[in-house]
Structure 1
Amino acid sequence: MRRSRAFTLLEVMVVLAIIGGLMALVTITSSDRHAQDETEQFARRLLAVFSACRQESVFQNIDLGLAMDSSSLLLLSFQDIYSQEFTANKTREELDALAKNPWQPYSGPINNDIEAPEYVFMSLEVEGQEV
């Protein structure tokens, strides 16, 4: 009587389950890496925008600021209502509106609206306190 050597059905199922588990881990890791790469790219883009804002502010002698929510940034400029440059050609209503909120959307050469990727949420902390 000859004995043939072969794998049992149970052994084949165990091997397939292990391979399936490893494939799932690879898929999870690669999708996480894509999100991390896109987040790093967004951070580099923000750094470039901040650098451009700093240079623009110095060269144009203006005050620039950022309005921020959890997914986007908006570049703002400070409109000084006591400066002759800003009061010229403005109506009384426009000056009253500027007195209430002197920070207006910036209309210069820098991209004004910066959107974060859908899974990136921004927050600002100053000395451990969320602002």
Structure 2
Amino acid sequence: MARRTARIRNNTAQATRPKRGRAAWLILTALVAGVAGGIFARRAAVPAGNSQPGKRAATEPVGTNTPDVLLPRTEPVEISTRMRPGEWTEESLQAHIEDYRRQIRNMGATDAEIVTNVERTEEGAARVVVSWNRTGL
């Protein structure tokens, strides 16, 4: 029986002693995760082929960030809002319309291509839609 007790004591002593190398393994894992996270963050923050800010890569075509590339020329552009009764006056409504028209003009539309639509309800609400008809008139 003494022998069995000795084994139990021996096993409990091994179970309470920290395993060697576990702390080093955790530190190494944390370092690897930190490096991988830094690489991911850099790739997400800097576009591909543009590793240095302000310098253009030789293979990158000029003007890739222009709106012509992002939207097809036939796709309409629209700015709209809905205002509840009491939220607007005729003056503020006209100011909204002019602001939306100015924003679309800044995108490259001519005055002939800008279409404005204002709907008023019986309850006093208003819906304003200013759009750029890019397909032609």
TM-score (normalised: structure 2): 0.29
TM-score (normalised: structure 1): 0.30
